[in-house]
A = this chain, B = another copy of it.
């Protein structure tokens, strides 16, 4: 899937915590982002607000975005969502404005653009495309463990919670592995990863009987000819709302090795309403993920081989301390890949791959 030049709609939400699609597209695909709509931060750059993206301008409206001369925008990327994935009603008019202006609209929300007859009619009239990134293929199978057959070494990012940096860890490790001359590929399982990589299946939008089958398929596709395939994890075994997706990913991707992603500063499961669930320690989470893999594939002896922290909310010395402590407590390489580099994790994955290849 080729990607257009985007204007990103991140109205009221431009922040690493609140607009994952906006922030990660700016971080990993800055050359295809010409402007970001966020009236609160208008006049600044994405670098000012997020610390990434360089001089991508933040503007107050679509009209201002269209006036940006840096590049000609081709699509509006919806970078906002209510929980449950619906389009916030106050942003619906911007979608119509974009279509009127001849832009495609890309959305990763559960609520499909294609289900809005007015928007569909206008898009047809203007000759633009509506792209629903969360529309999975129709012909997905029940999982049967086919991923066990890849020649590539399979690595899944897993987490103590959702929204702790699993996609980011996968992408940073891919980059670090490539610098070590390992042919590492990324298998995207969520809308942000699909925008960044141009391929993948949004597994959380797949009917639950086919979650592991969908994961199996993208793992097989991404693994073709690769040394290592990094499958993007989703959710968490500890998250009452999303644990089903997580287990489907584990048993669909059949990882040889896992990277545990965590957020040292977070005490309870992400987003409101789950305050009875305390975030486990990395050691507790490692035990759970390795146990869950033993259920369906004991022969793999699948192990967590590294810790990837998201410490953006901590001061640097505090971040360095908790990352080191977790490494000592678990006996594993430990880093924040964005802040301190992903080399230690790439080294751990490469070592596990080479050990596996010898075995």
Binding site for B on A (CB under 8 A): 83-85, 110, 141-145, 148, 203-209, 211-213, 237-248, 250-252, 254, 273-274, 276-278, 280, 288, 291-292, 295-299
> What is the CA–CA distance of A254 and B247 in the complex, to the nearest angstrom?
17
Q: Across the interface, which residues of B come within 8 angstroms of A241, CB to CB? A: 142-144, 209, 212-213, 251
- Whether the Cβ atoms of B209 and A85 lie closer than 8 Å is yes
Q: A297 contacts which of B143, B203, B252, B276 (Cβ < 8 Å)?
A: B276
CB distance from A295 to the nearest CB of B (A): 5
CB distance from A104 to the nearest CB of B (A): 24
> What is the CA–CA distance of A209 and B212 in the complex, to the nearest angstrom?
13
Q: Across the interface, which residues of B come within 8 angstroms of A142, CB to CB? A: 83-84, 241-242
- Whether the Cβ atoms of A295 and B288 lie closer than 8 Å is yes
Known: A84-B142, A144-B273. A297 touches B208 (CB 8 A): no
Known: A110-B207, A209-B110. A251 touches B245 (CB 8 A): no
CB distance from A300 to the nearest CB of B (A): 10
Q: Across the interface, which residues of B come within 8 angstroms of A209, CB to CB? A: 85, 110, 204-205, 241-242, 245
> What is the CA–CA distance of A251 and B242 in the complex, to the nearest angstrom?
9
Q: A240 contacts which of B83, B145, B204, B237 (Cβ < 8 Å)?
A: B145
Q: Across the interface, which residues of B come within 8 angstroms of A288, CB to CB? A: 291, 295
Q: Across the interface, which residues of B come within 8 angstroms of A277, CB to CB? A: 296-297
